[in-house]
Structure 1
Amino acid sequence: MFVEGNGSIEQIGRVALWNGTIENCVHQNHLIKSRLSGQVIPKYALYFFCSKNGRDKIKEQANSTSGLHTLSLGKISKLELPWCSIEEQKNIVQEIESRLSVVDKTEESITQSLHRSEALRQSILKKAFEGKLI
């Protein structure tokens, strides 16, 4: 799915992958549904259109009137993905997800460290105000 319109060129065409987990769900009218051929893995397309090159291709297709940047189904259908075999797409997706997993673990570790740091800071301040800091 692509965001159809936005006042910011950086936000136009943001993409998301619909996985169908909510039954009888309809999408908002400012989203454009895109269906891929059997030759493209949906996550491959998602990651490409989230990349700088993919975002640049989306921005090239966007029109601007009255400060609102818009896309149409016709413009989205003109977007091209770099072609590679299904096997290569699987490898690319696997590599991206592996790296994202490392980033997630690093972010979690940083968050935990920040919480410990804040707890230590509070403990030091408490001792200082109680006159117990030596």
Structure 2
Amino acid sequence: MYSFEELKERFNQFIDTQNIVQEPVSLYEPVRYLMNLKGKRIRPVACLMAANVYTDDIDKALPVAYSIEMFHNFTLMHDDVMDDADLRRGNPTVHVKYDINTAILSGDLMMIKSYQHLINCCSELEMK
């Protein structure tokens, strides 16, 4: 069994391998910015812990954990706009660093991408 910190480190390494910035850069760059802020990662680590109950090979669970974290961060981005928050994890919020419209649209993009990523994960698994 992996420890919480080991799973968190594996997840952070996985995030570093993801190509977040695509076109248009003006919408994807804020996504990369928020996803790379080092948070507690409780939700994705909980996903990995659940997988680790059954196997030490958690690689198949990493994309699912990533989808969960992206969805969670989309809610944070929109919440920061609604609350007019200035800081997230000690850094400027997306709407402060970029602007409100970008934060809303980038958050919407994160919601869509989280579902797309999850669908792609599930389609790669054999359904019985």
TM over 0.5: no
Q: Which has the larger radius of gyration?
A: 1
User: TM-score scaled by structure 2?
Assistant: 0.37
Return the structure number with greater helix share: 2
User: TM-score scaled by structure 1?
Assistant: 0.36
Return the structure number with greater strand share: 1
